[in-house]
């Protein structure tokens, strides 16, 4: 099952939707986010962005990056 989300902040909505899909019998659920806007002025976003190591890489898996 493919779950499409248009906004990703903490993932709570996608997780809830995936749980609902599994609750009605769906098999594995994968989520895809179509877009995300980063507001550098919100809270400590700019500080977090500056603290990130490396640059963005389409070939790097976000799940495996910490491993």
Tens-digit pLDDT profile for residues 36-62: 677 888 888 888 888 877 776 777 776
Q: What is the pTM of this model?
A: 0.49
Q: What distance in Å separates the CA atoms of residue 3 and residue 32, rounded to the nearest whole number?
A: 6
Token pair belonging to 47? 């500080």
Question: What ranges do the domains of the chain cover?
Answer: 2-39
Query: What are the pLDDT digits (tens) for 1-31?
Result: 999 988 767 778 889 999 999 999 999 999 9
Handedness of CA 16, 21, 27, 32 (dihedral sign): negative
């Amino acid at each position: 099952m493919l779950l499409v989300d248009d906004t990703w902040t903490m993932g709570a909505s996608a997780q809830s939707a995936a749980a609902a899909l599994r609750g009605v019998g769906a098999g594995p659920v994968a989520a895809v986010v179509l877009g995300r806007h980063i507001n550098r002025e919100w809270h400590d976003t700019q500080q977090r962005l500056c603290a990130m190591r490396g640059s963005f890489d389409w070939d790097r898996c976000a799940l495996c990056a910490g491993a």
